[in-house]
Structure 1
Amino acid sequence: MEELLEVSESMIRSTELNFRRYLYAEIDWSEKLIGIKGARGTGKTTLLLQYLNELQVPYNQKAYFSLDEIYFLSHSILEVVKRFHQTGGKIVVLDEVHKYPNWSQEVKNIHDRFRDLQVIFTGSSIIDISKEEGDLSRRAVMYELHGLSYREYLSLRHGIHVPKFSLEELLDPEFSIRNHFPDDFLPLQHFQAYLRNGYFPFAGVNEVIYFKRLRQLVRTIVEFDMAEIKGFDIRNGKKLLQLLYLVAQQVPFKPNISTLAERTLIHRNSMVNYLIYLAEARLIDLQYPAGFSVVTLQKPEKIFMNNTNFLFALSEKKPESGTVRETFFNSLMKVTHTVQYSASVDFLVGGEFHFEVGGKNKGNKQIKEKLTWIVKDDLEFPAGKSLPLWAFGMLY
């Protein structure tokens, strides 16, 4: 126990505070039970260590415990937190809870027994708290951390600090986004680099190594994290990797279930579930038409990779520019709004806004309604009903 606390204090003290993810400001830190889920590598651990670092309380009152520590193979969370509380503990972070069996029941017990203790836990994006034992869904306030937006990337990698704005502001013809940026701001200067290697905070200067790490990350998610999905047989992990690899070569596309089943040797009746597993792991994204609430029972209309970095890391050849454009738009927009399939344009957002995404030669023939816009990837600032693609990376 003492060693765990020593490791905790060391990690808290050494955590830098110069850059914070968007979610930091959105969390209500006054809540007593907070859950944060998200894909591997998005920065959940760093975010919570920053929170502990900034708390103006003695170190014996705050602690960070990673549940993949070997210590928890023979000691329960409840036992450790009880001892921490008895010695004056006030705030505890439990990282990687999905690595610990029956975690939700123990977290519930901790929350119910120690009412003056703040408990914050993190877990894989695969976690569905409503399906966990212990009925945490009525007790915990849940958040999800996504990858870096273009705005965050500019801040983290290049020290360029620019504001975020809402979709409604971007669509408002009276709102000039140009006036909200420095005069020397070049919006497209780093955009292509972001599309290739800017989504995850751990990206370095060596793109080859970064792509290798991304592929390793994908294998770890499929071969280890997905064991937590109820109904998924981890022995089928290889088939799931084959399916993901196949999807990466074709996205965005309207899936043919029979063809996918034939090429991956996954039974046709199981294919939709396998696609949903990949979506829950935040490896791909499934797009459905408006009006459908129970998506688990139907085939998606369109499939995207979760983000453009996965697209570049997993594709056999350089992805087509149209594929990159649509993947970026879908990836960043879905963090703040619902994105659905539209038969008339590329995207239906929030149930009312229509967007057609293209290059510089994209015409306005798709604009048949008032709430329709053309999104172009070579545009620096809005021009009438044409909007710059990069600007959708400023929504969070």
Structure 2
Amino acid sequence: METLLNFQDILLQSVTNDFRRYLHEKINWDQRMIGIKGPRGAGKTTLLLQHLKYDLGDSRHKALYITADHIWFYNNSLLDTATEWYQQGGEVLLIDEVHKYPNWSRELKNIYDGIPQMRVVFSASSALDIYRGQADLSRRVISYALPGLSLREYLAFAGLGIFAPVSLDQIINSHRDLSQEIASRVRPLQVFAQYLEKGYLPIFTEGENEYLPKLEQIINAVVDTDLAYIASYNAGTAVKVKKLLGVIAESAPFKPNISALSSKLNISRDRVLEYIYQLRDARLLNVLSAEGKGVSKLQKPDKIFLENPNLAYAISKRPDKGNLRETFLLGQLLNAGFDVFEPGTGDFLVNDIHIEVGGKNKSTKQVRDTTSYIVAADDMETGFGTKVPLWLFGFLY
């Protein structure tokens, strides 16, 4: 146990309270078991350590942070560790990267049932289905999702300005006033361009020139490590999944031809769909389907996107600007908790509103016959009427 406490103390030395992810305020930290899922690099570890260091007050000495891939677990189980910590007066257990522990769900259930005085907070890969482990956790764990940074959070983290999040209704009905107020404090188009290339993950603070190489490492780690743990990938599977991701990235967003992808990769149609949805769960892709369409993982999505624009810069040398716009908007809407569908008219359908995406000269021709529509227009600081600045959707969360 002394080994784990020393490890924790070393990590806490470098943790600051300068910036908090938006999710911190939304979590009910009093729950007995909390799961936090998110992509690599989104800040899950920092979220746990900030909670330990700054939120627990006098109870801080009763909290223990552990990471599931620590060498401690070569000779100790998760359940035994929780039991020993409780016997020493512990009340809170923070477990990072729980998906790297072989029997994570069964032992979490044992901890929950066997040590009711212990509060457990764990982080996991986005790809982990918390409710479908070997043991039933559905009645025990409250799950939260931590996506990458919004444009609003990027500005705060970069020290460029603190702004409150806005609602979709505010964007639709008051976008001119909102954009003018924000533009009076920061040049939105300049920072938006920076964000699209290198601003989605907090690792941008580690150096602008290091961002894209590190993002490439994250992509490899998600496929080679996270999905290997969760979906039992072998080396051959990982190669095929990376090839599929590369093929998709060349033209995303696009309407997939599953048969063509199957032939190109020499794998079955069902396997292609399985890999697509695993990459979506791992937060490397987003998929879009028409409203009312089945959600089965054997159902072909109507359109496939990269999960965020930074991935396009990491995988492709010259990303298409139009694709970046759509990728950004879909990602921000999904991260903010909206259900987004493929419409018959326009690019996206959310809350019965048709959204067309384009440059500042984009017309309303495609959507003006619908009952409710807006145009999300790039290269505009301030919009007018139904033409809304695209960058403003980066303030949804």
Q: TM-score, normalised by structure 2?
A: 0.95
Match of 1:193 in 2: 194
Q: Give the Cα–Cα distance (whole angstroms) in 2 for the partners of residues 132 and 367 of structure 1.
A: 47
Letter in 1 for 2:85: F
> CA separation of 1:205/1:360 partners in 2, compared to 1, >3 Å: closer, same or farther?
farther
Contact 2:63 2:91 in 1 (8 A): yes
Shift of 1:11: 2.0
Q: 4+ residue runs of structure 1 moved beyond 4 angstroms?
A: 204-208, 230-234
Q: Tell me which protein shows more helix as a share of its residues.
A: 2
Q: Give the Cα–Cα distance (whole angstroms) in 2 for the partners of residues 24 and 234 of structure 1.
A: 37
Q: Give the Cα–Cα distance (whole angstroms) in 1 for the partners of residues 175 and 217 of structure 2.
A: 46
What runs of 5+ residues in structure 2 fail to find an aligned partner? none
Residue correspondence of structure 1 range 254-333 to structure 2 within 5 A:
254-315=255-316, 317-333=317-333
Shift of 1:112: 1.4
Shift of 1:13: 4.3
Contact 2:65 2:96 in 1 (8 A): yes
Residue correspondence of structure 1 range 1-396 to structure 2 within 5 A:
1-54=1-54, 55-173=56-174, 176-178=177-179, 181=182, 183-204=184-205, 206-230=207-231, 235-315=236-316, 317-336=317-336, 337-350=338-351, 352-365=352-365, 366-396=367-397
Structure 2 SS opposite 1:147:
coil
Aligned Cα RMSD in Å? 1.8
Q: Give the Cα–Cα distance (whole angstroms) in 1 for the partners of residues 183 and 298 of structure 2.
A: 48
Structure 2 SS opposite 1:241:
helix
Q: Give the Cα–Cα distance (whole angstroms) in 1 for the partners of residues 59 and 225 of structure 2.
A: 36
Shift of 1:180: 5.0
Contact 1:169 1:175 in 2 (8 A): no
Shift of 1:179: 6.5
Shift of 1:266: 2.1
Shift of 1:220: 1.1
Structure 1 SS opposite 2:21:
coil
Deviations 1:101-159 (A, max 9, x none): 11111111111122121110111111112211221111110001000000000111133
> CA separation of 1:223/1:27 partners in 2, compared to 1, >3 Å: closer, same or farther?
same
What runs of 5+ residues in structure 1 fail to find an aligned partner? none
Q: Which moved more, 1:11-20 or 1:98-107?
A: 11-20
Deviations 1:305-348 (A, max 9, x none): 01000011101x31111011001001111112011111211001
Letter in 2 for 1:374: V
Question: May I ask how many residue pairs the two structures share in their alignment?
Answer: 394
Deviations 1:277-309 (A, max 9, x none): 111111111111100242312111101001000
Contact 1:239 1:265 in 2 (8 A): no
Matched-pair identity in %:
40
Contact 1:288 1:295 in 2 (8 A): no
Letter in 2 for 1:35: G
Letter in 2 for 1:30: D
Contact 2:285 2:306 in 1 (8 A): yes
Q: Which moved more, 1:143-152 or 1:162-171?
A: 162-171
Deviations 1:191-248 (A, max 9, x none): 1000000001012475443211111111111111112344755631101101101111
Q: Give the Cα–Cα distance (whole angstroms) in 1 for the partners of residues 181 and 52 of structure 2.
A: 33
Q: Give the Cα–Cα distance (whole angstroms) in 2 for the partners of residues 211 and 181 of structure 1.
A: 28
